Structure formats: C-alpha cells, structure tokens
Amino acid sequence: MAGTWKQRAIVAVLALAAVLGSVLVIDSVADRRAYVEAVPSTTNPQLDSFDSANGADSANGADSANGADSANGAGGENGDQAARLQTTGTTIGSEAGTPTDAAAGATDPAAPAGRGSTEQFEAIRNVQDKFSGFADVPSDQLDLTALTEPAPVNDNGSSTAGQFRVACEYSHFGFDDPIIFPGQPGQSHLHMFFGNTETDAFTTQDELVDTGGGTCSGFELNRSAYWTPALLDGRGNVIVPDAIIIYYKTKYPEAVNAMPQGLQMLAGNTRAESFETTGYLHWSCGANGSAYNHTNRIPDCNGDVINASIQFPNCWDGVNLASSDFSSHLSYADDQTPCPAGFPKRLPQISILLYYPGSDSVDGWQLSSDDLGGFNGPPGGTLHADWWGGWNDETMNLWIDGCMKAARNCSYGQTGTPRQLAGLNPAEVYEGENSLPLPPG
C-alpha cells in the first residue's frame, strides 16, 4: 500500500458513517443448493436515515469527536478468475451458479481428514502470531486477562444508543460458504473471511466457538465468523481493505439480548443484479465520518477512500439459529418500533464497514459474486455479507451489559468496564499489502 494511505489511516479519526437507513425484506428461497443466497430485496422507507434523524451518533459526538474511531480505508473479475471458479466447480453464467457435478464432494488427499481442498488459497492468508495464540483453547477456558488490556477509559460517555465496535483484519480467502454450502468445499464464489481463522466449508457451530484464532479485537474472545465477497481489480489481484469495522448497536437498550451462540445471518444483495441504495446497504466515498456519493456500485472516488456498508437484521424468533431459506428466523425493525410479532428477541444490529484504499481508477473492479448466476449488473451490485456467532460468553456479556444495556458509546473493544479487548495494533488498521495476487490453480 502507498505510504500516504497508511499515514492517513494512522492519523485519521475513525468516524463510522452515521447514515444507516432503510430495512430490506426478503422472500424465501427453499433450495439450499441454489447458489444465489437469500437476501433482502425490497426496502422499508421508515428506516431511511434513522441515525441522522435521531442524532444517535452525531449529536453526542460518538463517532466524530472522541478520537476513538479513526479509519481509512481498498476492489474485479477477469478471465483467470473465471477459469479458477470453473476448476473449483462453480461455472460462471450457469443457471443460478449451480455447482458442477465434477466438484461436488471433491477432496484434497493432502488435506486434513474430512476437509476439502482450498489449498490454492493458502497463499492468501493473513498469518500473524497474535491471531492464534490460544487457537486450541476452548472458549470457556480462555483467560480473559490475556486477551484484554486496561482501558484508559471505560467508554466514551452516555448515548441515545448502546454502541460497541471492534476492528478486524482479513483472515483468509477461499471458495467456501459454510452457511449456504455446508460441507461442500469450493462451491461458492471467492470470499474474504475475517474473525475466526479456521472458517471453511466444514465449520460446525462447536468448532466455531471452541477452536481457531481470531483476527478481530480480542482475538479468540471473538471467534465469530464474518465474510464478504472478495473485491477483485480485474488484473488478477484481490484487494484487501485498510480497515474493517464491526459495529454493534441498539436503540432499545432496555430490551436488547445477547447474541445466541451459533446464530447465522445474511444481509445484502445476491438475488438480483443490483440493489436500491439505502443506509443499510451501499457503497460510498470518503473517511472520517464524511461519507459521500452513496451508490449501488463500486464508486470512482478520485483517489479517496472507498467504503462498503452492510447491515444485518436485529430481531430473532428466539428459537432457530438458522433456517432453510437463510432468513425466516430473523427480521428487521426500525429504531422507533418494537420487533414484529413472531420475533420477540431484540438483538444488537450488526454493521460491517469496509474501508478500501483509494485508486486513480476502478475500471475492471468488481465483486467475486457479480458475474455469477447470469448477473450482468453494475460492479459491486451483489454487495452482501454473512455472520455466524461465536463470541466468548463472558466477553459478550461484558459489552452487552456495559455498552448495549447501559446505553454507552464504546469504541474499539471498550466494554464499559476497566478492561477492553486487546487491540490489533495502535492504529487498529491493516498494515500489509492491499493488492495481493490470486495464486494460479
């Protein structure tokens, strides 16, 4: 990465975009084999710009004035990528991206027992000792003092919303999706994974919680798995963001509940070529809380930071951790109303915010999912994300009680207590190369 971007990342005040708008509603998809994931497809205007309207983030200076949130923020598909997808069993342009028979159940003889082959992507793995110091320690045996640190301040003050944030770095890239294609390695488009370092097609709920390192604040205390389609530059490279911010938030502190272990969620658009730009799902330009040019495609920001924002449902049926259509166990609710009937459990609303370094040109850039299923929409039109909960229970209770229920503004690992989650580095940004070549294969 160019030094100018890294310098900006270190000195910038990370202010998360305050506009997190309208809700998306999805129709059911019964066929788990269908490649196109069930995602929101219509909007609810009641949720447009709900943050800016009620001043949750702007009035109290939570994201812009406390200096705790600094960020800066890096994406294409090409013929080589198409060939790579075909060799792993997913054919570009086939109906709904249906996996080919050749790859179904294919395994790598050199892979660990029961694991499929994603060997060609070992070169795109963010290996750092700090991410996996306690990778083999079950969650209930983790030493919180080893993965937290004294907090200069417990939080950044009271707020109209309970807020909690963690920073992440990418962990690895692979053609896996354990929610849509469990046990089927190589069946998905290329994903960027962060959080749990061992997430793959064979990941189970127990493995997620009790094994693997972590690439977010607190490391193994947050083994949740997060993934998004890879951003490609059209020249055989994958683009890595400077900063990944996970933002947990609620305007119903008195009703919020802890996230259940193993809960699976999807958000964004993969069922259509494009989407309606909303606060819940958009691309934009700019850092430091000054996002502009909200759009449904990868924006040309004239060298400025390129941002992507995806927001998840915040109401749960209280029973099912997943559903066959990937969505019917969850619902959205705006900040002014309770959760709808059938979804009694209010959850913190998760936003995934990706900050990519600017570029003089985004020609050829697109998401790895943009060309699949016969889609021919704008680059970045299939923006979406997945989340699979794997927090350490004791740690999650700290920030649920200290930040969410107490309506406090907690930045980067602050828990509303004298201890905060161990940070990635002083700047809370990715310090490696942003353009990484896709390996052959």
The pLDDT of residue 123:
55
Strands (E), 16-169: 23-25, 42-44, 148-150, 162-168
- From residue 79, alpha-carbon distances to 95, 229, 372, 438 in Å are 19, 17, 13, 12
Q: Is the dihedral of CA 54, 395, 199, 358 positive or negative?
A: positive
Query: What is the residue-wise DSSP string for 246-259?
Result: EEEEES-TTTB-PP
Tell me what percent of the residues of the chain surpass a pLDDT of 90.
64
DSSP 326: S
The pLDDT of residue 405:
97
Out of 45-49, 51-55, 262-266, 308-312, which region has the weakest mean confidence (pLDDT)?
45-49
Q: Would you call 113 exposed, middle or buried from its count of C-beta atoms within 10 A (0-12, 13-18, 19+)?
A: exposed
The pLDDT of residue 57:
41
pLDDT band at 273 (very low <50, low <70, confident <90, very high): confident
The pLDDT of residue 271:
81
Q: Do the bridges between strand 162-168 and strand 409-410 make them parallel or antiparallel, or are there none, so unpaired?
A: parallel
The pLDDT of residue 291:
80
| pLDDT tens figures, 392-435 | 999 999 999 999 999 999 999 999 999 999 999 999 999 999 99
- From residue 218, alpha-carbon distances to 157, 215, 259, 421 in Å are 22, 8, 17, 4
| pLDDT tens figures, 406-416 | 999 999 999 99
Q: Which of 89, 57, 120 is nearest to 291 (CA)?
A: 57
The pLDDT of residue 122:
56
DSSP 438: P
- From residue 39, alpha-carbon distances to 43, 45, 229 in Å are 12, 18, 14
| pLDDT tens figures, 6-46 | 434 333 433 333 333 333 322 222 222 232 333 333 223 22
Q: How much is the CA Rg of the chain, to the nearest whole Å?
A: 20
The answer, yes or no, to whether residue 438 has pLDDT greater than 60, is: yes
Average pLDDT over residues 146-153: 97
pLDDT band at 347 (very low <50, low <70, confident <90, very high): very high
pLDDT band at 259 (very low <50, low <70, confident <90, very high): very high
Out of 349-353, 395-399, 435-439, which region has the weakest mean confidence (pLDDT)?
435-439
Average pLDDT over the chain, rounded to an integer: 77
**Is residue 170 within 8 Å of residue 194, measured between CB atoms?**
yes
Structure token pair of residue 393: 């229970």
The pLDDT of residue 51:
37
- Residues near 337 by Cβ (< 8 Å), separated by ≥ 6? none
DSSP 95: G
| pLDDT tens figures, 50-94 | 233 333 343 333 333 333 333 333 333 222 322 222 222 222 222
DSSP 404: I
The answer, yes or no, to whether residue 336 has pLDDT greater than 60, is: yes
